[in-house]
Amino acid sequence: MDQVMALVTNAPSGGAISRRVTITGEPGDILLKPLYTGICGTDRGIIAGKLPFAYNPVGYDFLVLGHESICSVVESDVSGFKAGDLVVPMVRRPGKCLNCAAGRQDNCSDGDKHEAGITGKHGFMREQFRESSRYVVRVGDSSLSRTGVLTEPTKNVMKLFEVFSVISGRSIYPTPDYSFQGKHAWIIGTGSEGFLFSFMAREQGFDTFMTNRHSVDEGRLGIMDQFGINFVDYSRDFDTAVKDIDLLIDTSGDPTTILRFTQRVRQNGIVFLFGTNGRAPDGAMSGVMVDHLVEKNITIAGSVDGAKRHYEQAVSYISKWTHEHPRAMSALITNEEPASSVDPFKRGNSNGIKTIISWK
Ligand code: DN4
Ligand code: BGC
Ligand code: ZN
Ligand code: ZN
């Protein structure tokens, strides 16, 4: 393949530069061009040199960044895809374990998979790239050429809620109509994943609360309002406001905060750990907390990544939400930057929700 412009790092040392690269021999029956790529905490961790598990592909002294994208097909050697189609490439490529062989590399049993833009496979932040159509998800709704970039982060949400349905099926939630109406979902953190989890909790019928240790800006409150989500600044109002949690989803990765909210989870409740922050201070679990978990049948579960069907479900929900709440979905994307600049990686995420890079 010819030289293309790309945003690259040197993993795991870090850094980010825009440069021309030549990448040869990548398998693929379909040629893609990104329209937009998204930046998440994983990308920021890699360029800061804080993710020791990131590594360059074999034979390269760099790694093309990016695992969130919405792409357009440039040319296809397979039936079912044609130039101009919108698609989202998946992050993970399978290793050799049984889960990977079954298409469930999201549940890889030995860690021997690769992740685009993270571990040993070049990512999507480049002018064009070849991809195997097996790892490409169709986006049939042409109005998703921008918000479709949220498909990858949303597939994590779809998988977590599938695991939720497995765990919650062990008992009957005490609603007379066997729904989740009147049940309480709490989501810790107000970043993009926190919003996407909250949107899905609303879809399931939960009374939904987003929470952080500080107040949030009008933009965030406006999005919550459109989806019917409540917000609690728990630094001001923990004792009276935080109670009767049936589903707790953490996107902060902070052990002390997770344990504090877990105290407020009631019988048959489920706690999902999703956020990761290896630098967070330790949190100690008390004997009282152990009793609380045991006596109330509370489950704590971790969830990472998602399978192809979760990407497909994510496309359907992004489409639904984009049509029902166009302003809120557009407002989730707070920053759009040109592909020529690596500044957005360095800037952090303090003011914005989701930063995307335009390749158009
Ligand atoms: P993000 O935009 O950094 O959101 C994290 C949120 O947590 C921010 O709103 C933080 O607030 C908030 N937060 C931090 N500490 C606390 C605390 N003590 N109490 C309450 N809120 C707190 O990241 P994201 O939304 O893109 O992703 C969320 C997390 O999921 C990250 O840790 C990712 O590494 C992880 N992740 C996991 C997977 C997977 O398992 C996939 C993608 C991301 P503030 O400090 O910004 O105000 O598959
Ligand atoms: C991606 C996941 C990936 C994880 C690895 C996340 O940002 O959404 O698909 O498995 O990073 O840490
Ligand atoms: Zn990510
Ligand atoms: Zn595997």
Residues 320-329 as b/e (b if ≥16 CB within 10 A, e otherwise) read ebbeebeebb
Mutating to test ligand 2, I would choose from 39, 40, 42 the residue with most ligand atoms within 8 A of its C-beta, which is 42
Q: What atom in ligand 2 is closest to the CA of residue 68?
A: 8
Domains in the chain, start-ordered, CATH in brackets? 4-149+333-358 (3.90.180.10), 172-296 (3.40.50.720)
**Amino acid at the residue 158:** M
Ligand 1: does its nearest atom lie under 6 Å from the Cβ of 151?
no
State whether the beta carbon of 193 lies less than 6 angstroms from ligand 1.
yes
Q: Is any atom of ligand 2 closer than 6 Å to the C-beta of 276?
A: no
Distances (CA, A) of 173 to 168, 298, 309, 344: 8, 13, 27, 44
- Tokens 């009147």 belong to residue: 182
Residue 106 in contact with residue 311, Cβ under 8 Å?
Answer: no
Ligand 2 atom nearest to CA at 91 = 9
270 vs 299: CA distance, rounded Å: 5
* Phi and psi torsions of 247, nearest 5°: -135, 120
From the CA of 304, how far away is ligand 2's center (Å)? 7
For 319, other C-beta atoms within 10 Å of its C-beta total 18
| Cα–Cα distance, 145 to 168 (Å, whole number) | 35
Q: Is 328 in the pocket of ligand 1 (CB under 6 A)?
A: no
Q: What is the pLDDT along the chain (360 residues), one digit of tens a residue?
A: 679 999 999 999 999 999 999 999 898 999 999 999 999 989 999 999 989 999 999 999 999 999 999 999 999 999 999 999 999 999 999 999 999 999 999 999 999 999 999 999 999 999 999 999 999 999 999 999 999 999 999 999 999 999 999 999 998 766 777 789 899 999 999 999 999 999 999 999 999 999 999 999 999 999 999 999 999 999 998 999 999 999 999 999 999 999 999 999 999 999 999 999 888 899 999 999 999 999 999 999 999 999 999 999 999 999 999 999 999 999 999 999 999 878 777 766 667 999 999 998
Which of 40, 47, 104, 305 maximizes ligand 2 atoms within 8 Å of its Cβ, making it the mutation to test the pocket? 305
41 C-alpha vs ligand 2 centroid, how far in Å?
9
Cβ atoms of 116 and 129 closer than 8 Å: no
Burial environment of residue 9 by CB neighbours within 10 A (0 to 12, 13 to 18, 19 or more): buried
pLDDT at 71: 98
pTM above 0.85, yes or no: yes
Ligand 1 neighbourhood includes 251 CB (under 6 angstroms): yes
